[in-house]
A and B are shown apart, each in its own frame.
Chain A
Amino acid sequence: MQLAVWTYEGPPHVGAMRIADAMRGLHYVLHAPQGDTYADLLFTMIQRNERRPPVTYTTFQARDLGSDTADLFRRAVLDSHARFKPEAMLVGASCTAELIQDDPGGLAKSLGLPIPVVAVELPAYQKKENWGAAETFYQLVRAFARRDVAKRTEGRPLCNILGPCSLGFRHRDDIIEVQNLLASIGVDVNVVAPLGASPTDLSRLGAAQFNVVLYPEIAGTAAAWLQRNFAQPATRVVPIGVGATRDFIAEVAQLAGLPVPHTTESRLPWYSRSVDSTYLTGKRVFIFGDATHAIAAARVASEELGFQVVGLGTYSREFARDVREAAAKYGVEPLITDDYLDVEAAIAAAQPELVLGTQMERHVAKRLGVPCAVISAPVHVQDFPARRSPQMGMEGANVLFDTWVHPLMMGLEEHLIGMFREDFEFHDGAAPSHLGHAATAAARPEVVVPLSVAEEAPAELWTAEAERELKKIPFFVRGKARRNTERFAQERGLRSINVEALYDAKAHYSR
């Protein structure tokens, strides 16, 4: 048993729904009790879908148990086939139906439908949403990719784009960016899947010479199978950030047998070099998300914005190794957990100046009064903006610059606050105008989080005079100053901190 307040991932059948909803011509019959129909709102409300997800639930009840749940399932398959006339059907069970062991795959096959039926077994008590999505996509690729499709051998190189699906973080916008990028290099796209693909489209996967894997969490399993069975190598670089996009272009060029082209540029390098960005230097950033986005964010934060990565973690246990390697590069302890409370504690302990995380970390950051930008699923309705807002490619890098920098105090504002800090209107609660709502949030007393790490040192450690001096330091660096000074005092065995100790510490830590 695991105590969960919030969860980063839903159950694996929700992963399967994300694939079914992304595709065309596929219908998913899910053996599940009525409450499981809540999952429809993920698609209709969060993603604002204009149609229901292509999913039929059997919605069995207690009184059906032991009598005719299997028959309910058969009827649901027949009815949904008659009504929706899909090209192919996906069948499976949710967590409760797994326990009653009705064998949806066997039941569906026995009906002799005139369309292909793919059964997915998703162990609900072991696995989670992303695994469910990856497994479902893999089973569909296995079922539909035809071996008699000839691989293109002449003309422009041809690839598939694998991974984008429903409820993905900006998948919709990333594909457009990546397709443009591939076109500019001179590579044609055979199939984009699962998003927008039909089972028939999957049958043509084999025509491509290689696969572009945008989201290994979703497409890794399928791509590995295609590599083994169709001799299609797959890209390993995920083009998030300027450097990664350049690496991605080089990798694609190499797979396609093309010269590495001169790449179109992003504004990020110049914006990052512009003097206004000096204040970004060494900003402490805590990063948590799915493995792909977290690792990519760490590279962008460190190499392209000049931040200091003070925490890096993921809820994707399947990709823990990659995150550990990345964390080692930044000299931080990797945080591999799907326990929201652990993440909350780690963020509080790291005392970052910016959190890059999921919607969950947005809550934590809000409680701790730290700015936050969202970089990864699980998604929220705000993660489906009306405008295009990719994370990948050169335009994606521009988006990252804006999204991560805007929640922060702007350069000149920092200086102004330093200059006018004695002015009564530049108090701690007065956030800059462009963070309008933050002003009121900061003015309210914070909700007390019972975290030992957030506790302040006993008040008597600080002399009244030193405490007053500390308050003259701009509030957004005051936490750091307090922390450093206390560490300094502890290391030197000081029993109290006076103004001299405060400035000794400042001198000690200034570099």
Chain B
Amino acid sequence: MSAASPILSSAPGCTDAPVLRQRGQREVFCGLTGIVWLHRKIQDAFFLVVGSRTCAHLLQSAAGVMIFAEPRFATAILDERDLAGLADANDELDRVVARLLERRPDIRMLFLVGSCPSEVIKLDLSRAAQRLDRAGNGDVRVLYYSGSGIETTFTEGEDACLAALVPEMPAATDSKPSLLIVGSLAEVVEDQMLRLFSAMGIDDVRFLPPRRARDLPPVGRGTRMLLAQPFLANTARALEARGATHLPAVFPLGAEGTTLWLRAAADAFGVSPARFHDATSAAEDRARRSLAPLRETLAGKTLFLFPDSQMEISLARFLAREVGMIPIEVGTPYLHRSHLGPELALLPRDSRLSEGQDVELQLDRCRDAQPDLVLCGLGLANPLEAEGFTTKWSIETVFTPIQGYNQAADLAELFARPLRRRARLMV
């Protein structure tokens, strides 16, 4: 990123904006939900939640009935005997894991995933993972992370999972610069990014998470990490501890967003402006052209974002700058200023930022604001529609490939379609 970039000018946008913080009911998923996309992303990994029937029910309700293939996740449901100490938790876990691996011999990496109950009763799943790992004779790597709702919100589950992978990454053998893209992206997006980096002459590009658990990229002093998702605070910290350098950038949403994101890497790898322009301008122009018709639907429309995935600030920046929407309130479960600094600088100054939630008070603000479009979770969408609001489910921004130039219009379309639909219906 060049020094002339508007992002680094003094306190632009929402950099110094006050943040509304309220404490009440939070209407969000827990970190276990990340399993729903992580198990598809890392194709030889299995996620075993050690928790309650509620955890199993959450996973199946958040995704279960939508997925028709056999999932690579399951829950070891704790019962009374486990809680009363009548059953040895380790023996029970061994039994469950043995049954699982017998059924799925293709599994190469098993995550034991902690839950609210396992954390509250202080079940030491970290040690259990080490023990099972040794017992597995290297056939199956067993790792632990917590996706509990008392510690993690929705996408933080991915952060915890990726952070657990960091110690497993091999050490880089030299300090030659290499680029590490961190955060789950759809494969189609990864491939597009690889082509763009290749056109700039950056060829050593790896992804975390990898498609196969055993293909973990190396990390070391030469590693330059570019975050693809805004919710990876712990993963980034763990990678920094292993020598990686964080490249601050906005996230690759939209034409402008993708260019700024790519440029952060280009600058770090000394790519000349001319070469960067040659590599990206055609794709950026195409993305801008594809956004033009969507701008007609979205420009001037007001937007209210309930906190959910931590992507809200990036989404609001994209929707405001590239299709002309007006964010009234931008809610996020957590605000990581260090990773979101470049985003905040680009966010319209009069957007209200809120962190955390009292859902009742926030609904009141939403009703007062009468936005044209509301981004919210599945629990709120239909009730708000019934009140006359137009909504978009936030979970779709997590499950849909939206990053990169070629997906910019798809992302805008997610927001345009509910508005067009409402305009079309005559009943």
Residues on A lying within 8 angstroms of B by beta carbon are 1-7, 9-11, 13-14, 33-42, 44-45, 48-52, 56-62, 65, 76, 79, 83, 94-96, 99-100, 123-126, 128, 341, 359, 363, 366, 380, 447, 449-450
Contacts and interface: CB of A to CB of B under 8 A. Distances in A.
A224 B31 CA distance: 42
- Listed residue (A36, A51, A123) with the most chain B CB atoms within 10 angstroms of its CB: A36
The 9 A-B pairs at the shortest CB distance, nearest first, are namely: A35-B30, A35-B149, A40-B379, A50-B386, A96-B116, A10-B57, A95-B52, A41-B378, A1-B92
A11 B56 CA distance: 9
B150 interface: yes
Nearest to B94: A1
B26 interface: yes
Contacts of B60: 6-7
Given A50-B382, A99-B117, A37 B26 contact: yes
Contacts of B77: 1-4, 7
B99 A3 contact: yes
B174 interface: no
Interface string B153-185: 100000000000000000000000000000000
30 contacts: A1-B50, A1-B89, A1-B96, A2-B96, A3-B76, A7-B56, A11-B54, A34-B26, A35-B32, A35-B116, A36-B54, A36-B149, A37-B28, A37-B379, A40-B379, A40-B380, A41-B379, A44-B378, A44-B380, A44-B383, A49-B382, A52-B379, A57-B25, A59-B25, A62-B151, A79-B24, A95-B53, A100-B120, A366-B68, A450-B103
Chain A contact residues: helix, strand, loop or mixed: mixed
A41 B60 CA distance: 12
Interface string B83-119: 1000101001101100110010000000000001101
- Listed residue (B25, B99, B380, B381) with the most chain A CB atoms within 10 angstroms of its CB: B25
A4 B382 contact: no
- Listed residue (A10, A341, A366) with the most chain B CB atoms within 10 angstroms of its CB: A10
A34 B151 CA distance: 10
Contacts of B29: 35, 37-38
Contacts of B426: none
Given A4-B77, A10-B61, A449-B70, 7 more contacts: A1-B79, A7-B53, A10-B57, A34-B150, A44-B382, A76-B25, A95-B53
Contacts of A41: 61-62, 377-379
- Listed residue (A44, A58, A126) with the most chain B CB atoms within 10 angstroms of its CB: A44
Nearest to A37: B27
Contacts of A76: 25
A95 B54 contact: yes
Contact of A61 (B69, B79, B151): B151
A4 B50 CA distance: 10
B58 interface: yes
Contacts of B4: none
